[in-house]
């Protein structure tokens, strides 16, 4: 039997960080301890740990997306690179794709703060989130043997952030109507972002200016996407990934 462990941390009701693991029952104490330890350097006034039994059998994916890394002189060059790919793959005009992505740099929710989840945009340039403050959250995803995968990625020079983001992006792109994901962190000192598309997890360095505390995700989807089915897959269907795509 598998369990989902989620941790959410905030300061003055502003989301600071979150993490999730899917583990067997005997691993729960050590995983909770490890997740709490990751909060030690953060300034927060509230942290919540939630543990739930997973009632349905997870989808098993054999390989993650393939990792690629590109370095640029500045974030505007990286953004231009990503925009050209997104426009070509989604059929969105370049300026339309840019309009939506720019929202992540200024705060995509109606009050100009970061959204709690991801924005959803279709090929017509329509936003499809049910709640533009919350967006949609991708949860219930992990590597089947996270310890081995983490060791592999750390040996390749990546970080634990990569483990989390790669798992999430792999689940996202497994959905038949999800074309691409664009992501920048809302941590002001982390400037690497990514574009997940065509079976690849493309790390772009840098994709935001240092010191910016805005960020978030956009999921670009096909026009015939059923929003209820998309939400159900991202938020309620567990996914486990067996290995990285080397």
pLDDT band for position 166 (cuts 50, 70, 90): very high
- Is 90 exceeded by the pLDDT of residue 42? no
- Is 80 exceeded by the pLDDT of residue 79? yes
- Is 80 exceeded by the pLDDT of residue 86? yes
Can you say whether the dihedral through the CA atoms of 215, 149, 160, 22 is positive or negative? positive
| Angle ∠(209,211,215) on CA atoms, nearest 5 | 70
For residue 9, give the H/E element and its range: strand 2-11
More confident residue, 68 or 47: 68
pLDDT at 14: 74
pLDDT at 228: 98
**Among the ranges given (67-71, 110-114, 163-167, 238-242), the one the predictor scored with the smallest mean pLDDT:** 110-114
What's the mean pLDDT when you consider all of the chain?
A: 94
* Mean pLDDT of the 203-219 span: 96
HSE-up of residue 180 (Cα within 13 Å, Cβ side): 24
pLDDT at 39: 78
- Is 90 exceeded by the pLDDT of residue 227? yes
pLDDT at 60: 98
- Is 90 exceeded by the pLDDT of residue 44? no
Report which listed range, 4-8, 30-34, 203-207, is most confident: 203-207
- Is 80 exceeded by the pLDDT of residue 71? yes
Can you say whether the dihedral through the CA atoms of 34, 35, 36, 41 is positive or negative? positive
For residue 17, give the H/E element and its range: strand 14-24
Can you say whether the dihedral through the CA atoms of 159, 241, 144, 167 is positive or negative? positive
Percent of the chain at pLDDT exceeding 70:
100
pLDDT at 45: 86
pLDDT at 43: 82
């Amino acid at each position: 039997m598998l369990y989902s462990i989620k941790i959410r941390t905030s300061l003055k009701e502003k989301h600071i960080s979150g993490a999730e693991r899917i583990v067997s029952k005997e691993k729960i104490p050590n995983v909770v301890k490890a997740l709490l330890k990751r909060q030690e350097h953060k300034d927060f006034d509230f942290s919540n740990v939630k543990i739930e039994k997973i009632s349905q059998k997870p989808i098993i994916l054999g390989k993650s997306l393939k990792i690629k890394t590109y370095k640029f002189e500045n974030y505007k060059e990286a953004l231009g690179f990503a925009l050209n790919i997104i426009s070509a793959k989604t059929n969105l005009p370049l300026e339309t794709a840019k309009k939506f992505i720019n929202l992540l740099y200024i705060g995509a929710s109606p009050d100009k703060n970061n959204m709690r989840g991801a924005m959803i945009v279709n090929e017509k340039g329509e936003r499809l989130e049910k709640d533009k403050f919350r967006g949609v959250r991708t949860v219930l995803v992990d590597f089947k043997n996270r310890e081995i995968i983490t060791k592999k990625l750390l040996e390749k020079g990546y970080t634990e952030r990569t483990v989390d983001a790669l798992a999430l992006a792999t689940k996202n792109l497994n959905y038949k109507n999800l074309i691409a994901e664009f992501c920048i962190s809302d941590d002001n000192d982390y400037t690497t972002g990514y574009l997940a598309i065509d079976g690849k997890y493309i790390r772009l360095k840098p994709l935001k200016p240092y010191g910016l505390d805005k960020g978030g995700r956009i999921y670009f989807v096909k026009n015939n996407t059923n929003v209820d089915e998309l939400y159900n897959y991202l938020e309620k269907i567990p996914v486990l990934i067996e290995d990285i795509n080397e």
